[in-house]
Structure 1
Amino acid sequence: MTSTEKLTAELRGRAAALGFDSFGIAAADARPDLPDKLRQALDAGWHGDMDWMAETAQRRGSPRAMWPDARSVILLGVNYGPETDPLALLGEKSHGAISVYARNRDYHEIIKGKLKELAGLLARRSSAEVKVFVDTAPLMEKPLAEAAGLGWQGKHTVLVSREFGSWLFLGAILTSAELPVDKPHKVSCGSCTKCLDICPTAAFPAPYQLDSRRCLAYLTVEHKGPIPKEFRGPMGNRIYGCDDCLAVCPWNKFASASRELKLRGRPELERLTLAELVQLDDVGFRELFAGSPVKRIGLGRFLRNVLIAIGNSQNHALVPLVEQRLRDESALVRGAAVWALRRLAPERAAQLRLAFSAVESDEAVQAEWTEELA
């Protein structure tokens, strides 16, 4: 065994000891197809208003475009598979459904320290330079993880693993060291289209393609404006993210291995009622979601999502709570409240329309009072 092979074996063992479930290595230039694929997606506008994707397109297309000295990429995965079916909560219309990954502590915080420790070991043993990334740089982790043998990008564009299904957090270490690479994983979806068929907004133009502008995970998290009307009904009670295409993947049946990093959802985030959520103020929001990715979208966008879910709930007992948000300082929240009120109690909305329209300064909110409901 060569010294490089011994180093790789040591890194693999240390990664397992640190709690990583998957480990693989790809050459930094293993995916020369990425720049063209990225450009096609950007030209089609599938990135929505995530302008940073277009702004970093040149660097995003290749690890070596971002860091010319990069020679190898170590990809690591952590299984965060849920212990129960996340789709079950979609039937409980008075509760808010939060994506599985956001019920944990922020995975950036959990994984990054472990990555730094592993990268430090590599640097000490090889004197090579290293850089650590956890979804925080223009690095396309999923196709690189495919090249490194961790799994394959499924028809829903998410990485799928034979061992852990669609539930893997990914982290990466770029290094100037030349390390022995792993074999790429073959795509193993076969004829299955469950992930495409279940999407409530038809966000997949074709297998292996995702139009973020139609994706509820994007709309509830990244999108800063009002939820487009055509997607409000399909949102149901999803108030942060969407797990449908992940949860239905047949490979998930293998995703029950123990997790050393303890990525289990916080119980208090799994069954939150819309009634309690719509009453949150900024302090309460920050306290409830401390350490969670949910906190990053801010109270305004979160209440927007909650109010859309209330409008879909058919729970008329929530009408008084919706009316309180008609006076919210945020136009984004007020607009969502108008829509929810008109859905739940159209007669009550008609009674209030003139009074509120007379003092409403935001054109988008004004339109919510009068435009057709989707």
Structure 2
Amino acid sequence: MRADEVLQIAHECGFELAGIAPAGTPCGSAPDFSRYQDWVAQGMAGEMRYLTDRRAEVRRDVRNLLPNARSVICVGKLYNTPDPPRREGDARISRYAWGRDYHLTMRAALERLTGRLLEYESFDHKICVDTAPLLERSFARQAGLGWIGKNTCLINEPLGSWFFLGEIVASLDLEPGSPPPDRCGSCTRCIEACPTQALVPSGDGWTLDARRCISYLTIELRGPIPDELRAGVGDHVFGCDICQDVCPWNSKAPVTEDRDFAGTAMPLAELAQLSPEAFRERFKDSPITRATYSGLMRNVAAALARRENH
């Protein structure tokens, strides 16, 4: 099977982006792994132990996931949807969480793609959607899907950064793509717009200090949000898109017609009334469950309090 055939089938399966990355280098190290190690060593992962425990070392080489891996088929699926009508008192929720859980949507699409490929040739494989110990953006960059911007998101010309990533680690020997040039230039809009100054200098570039990121604070942090960061969090209750909203590459990003990703407004007062059972029912197929009931209630209460004080 040729790489161009794989990419054509990926597009037929609904992925706007597709590319091939090599499964490893002669030394067996994943691209950018040393930068990842430095980031972890500086404590920037915060309390996200899944990024710092034994799984961190697995990310060194994708062949730890599939010993006979030769290629990584990288795909991207657009999730940019029109903003739902927003009213005073609505919660701010990250765009990726507006609709159905992308883990479910992406895995189903990757399984369709894998099934199509297996019709042509038998091969060993492992499907990865965010949860596997894999440096996704690094492989996606190597595959030619985009460059890693100063906001640490993968950016594609012309799709911007509103897309989910997924991978099929495969035993197929496919011709890899090549990384595109970095097109951020001298732009620093994302850095200047971040209300908690989470984008910090790192070597000759920029990195994300998760401990200051609104997404981390409202989703992953299980304890109280530090006092000095609360004002910056504002009325965000699940995630944050500011560094993507201000990115010039997203100003003309296309919109998906996939209804799985469409969202509706969520009033803070309505969310505050949810019981644990109602939370589980309302968000059973939503990534919002990641914050846990207590975490979301903490965020909603803080947002309501800040609104009352202003």
TM-score, length basis structure 2: 0.92
Task: Please tell me whether the aligned partners of residues 60 and 138 of structure 1 are also in contact (alpha carbons under 8 angstroms).
Answer: yes
Q: 2: CA distance between counterparts of 1:247 and 1:203?
A: 15
Superposed, which structure 2 residues align to 1:209-288 within 5 Å?
A: 209-259=207-257, 261-267=258-264, 271-288=265-282
Shift of residue 290, structure 1, vs aligned partner: 3.1
Shift of residue 263, structure 1, vs aligned partner: 4.3
Task: Please tell me whether the aligned partners of residues 123 and 130 of structure 1 are also in contact (alpha carbons under 8 angstroms).
Answer: no
Structure having greater relative contact order (Cα 8 Å, sep ≥ 6): 2
Instruction: Tell me how large the CA RMSD over aligned residues is.
Output: 1.9
User: How many residues end up aligned between the 2 structures?
Assistant: 303
Name the counterpart of 1:350.
none
Q: 2: CA distance between counterparts of 1:96 and 1:257?
A: 22
User: Is 2:58 the counterpart of 1:59?
Assistant: yes
User: Is 2:47 the counterpart of 1:49?
Assistant: yes
Q: 1: CA distance between counterparts of 2:260 and 2:190?
A: 24
**What are the superposed Cα offsets for residues 274-324 of structure 1, whole Å, 9 maximum, x if unpaired?**
21111111122223223111123221111000011012102xxxxxxxxxx
Higher helix share: 1
Greater shift, 108-117 or 248-257, is seen at: 248-257
Identity of aligned residues (%): 39
Shift of residue 131, structure 1, vs aligned partner: 0.7
Q: 2: CA distance between counterparts of 1:249 and 1:99?
A: 15
Name the counterpart of 1:303.
297
Shift of residue 110, structure 1, vs aligned partner: 0.6
Query: What is the SS of the residue equivalent to 1:128?
Result: coil
**What are the superposed Cα offsets for residues 233-276 of structure 1, whole Å, 9 maximum, x if unpaired?**
111100000000011110113321544x4343232xxx222211
> Runs of 5+ in structure 2 lacking a partner?
none
> Runs of 5+ in structure 1 lacking a partner?
315-342, 345-374
Selected match of 2:144 from 132, 138, 149: 149
Larger radius of gyration: 1
- Which runs of structure 1 show a deviation greater than 3 angstroms over 4 or more consecutive aligned residues? 30-33, 261-264
Q: 2: CA distance between counterparts of 1:83 and 1:205?
A: 30
User: Is 2:170 the counterpart of 1:175?
Assistant: yes
Shift of residue 9, structure 1, vs aligned partner: 3.2
TM-score, length basis structure 1: 0.77
Selected match of 2:103 from 100, 103, 108: 108
